[in-house]
Amino acid sequence: MINVKIDNDILNSILNIEKSKDSLNLVKIPVNISNKFRKNTKKRSSYASNRIEGNPLTFEQADAAIESKNRHFLMPEQEIRNYYLALEFLEKKLEIKEPLSLKLLLQVQKQICDGESKEKIGLREAMPPGVLFAVWNDDGTPSYIPPEYSEVPGLLNELFNYINESDDHPLIKAAIIHYQLVTIHPFEDGNGRTARIMSSYFLSLSGYGFNQRMIVRFVNIVKQFI
């Protein structure tokens, strides 16, 4: 069972975020600016999330890969495009307020890892005899050994039950989603990217999404000219 302890520092931070959120919701941004920022935000998220995983492209190269059509893409370019398409897929899910579920998680991971071997799509299975599934250090030693593959379905079910049934604040739930997905490590590949995109989706689903981030950025830009 997932239990979260909240101290006074966390509680104060949540209260401050709530105050800011209420103020930001009163700000209106022109549609043309909103659309431009939305697309740019998806591009930067695609670049940054893959950069964390070691993708070598610059933002300019990532941008070009997203905008390109009808050509062969190198693997780093395909990773960027996959993430961008996953964000667009979740935008449509957000319109109908689709809740988090195992089905949605698997759909997102499949898009993020599109083009990889079929063994890397979906929940991980048993490793060959004598092979350890782990997150490895550069020197060949394991830095983290996730739960056994047989434990993954039950742990994911526990996570989704927590999301749907707990009275914890959405900001706490979003943090737990990210932490648990990375800790459970349900896939052979794409765990970090999937964890980040799913926690972000849950924030948007809970009213802490693009509009708030966009307004903060818009205000920062305006300040440069004041």
Query: Whole-structure pTM over 0.75, yes or no?
Result: yes
C-alpha 163/C-alpha 19 separation (Å) is 24
Q: Residue 3 has what pLDDT?
A: 86
Q: Residue 225 has what pLDDT?
A: 39
- Helical H runs in the chain? 8-24, 31-52, 59-67, 75-95, 102-112, 152-165, 170-184, 191-205, 210-223
CA-to-CA dists, residue 105 to 91, 123, 177, angstroms: 14, 10, 11
Q: Residue 196 has what pLDDT?
A: 96
Collect the ranges in the chain with pLDDT lower than 70: 210-226
Q: Residue 220 has what pLDDT?
A: 45
Structural domains in the chain plus CATH codes: 8-223 (1.10.3290.10)
Q: Residue 98 has what pLDDT?
A: 97
CA-to-CA dists, residue 68 to 15, 129, 157, 173, 187, angstroms: 43, 43, 39, 36, 29
Q: Residue 188 has what pLDDT?
A: 95
C-alpha 111/C-alpha 115 separation (Å) is 9
C-alpha 42/C-alpha 20 separation (Å) is 23
Q: Residue 35 has what pLDDT?
A: 84
Q: Residue 222 has what pLDDT?
A: 39
Q: Residue 211 has what pLDDT?
A: 58
Q: What is the pLDDT of residues 47-90, one digit of tens each?
A: 999 999 999 999 999 999 999 988 899 999 999 999 999 999 99
Q: Residue 21 has what pLDDT?
A: 81
Q: Residue 22 has what pLDDT?
A: 77
C-alpha 49/C-alpha 83 separation (Å) is 8
Query: How is residue 125 written in tokens?
Result: 């299975």
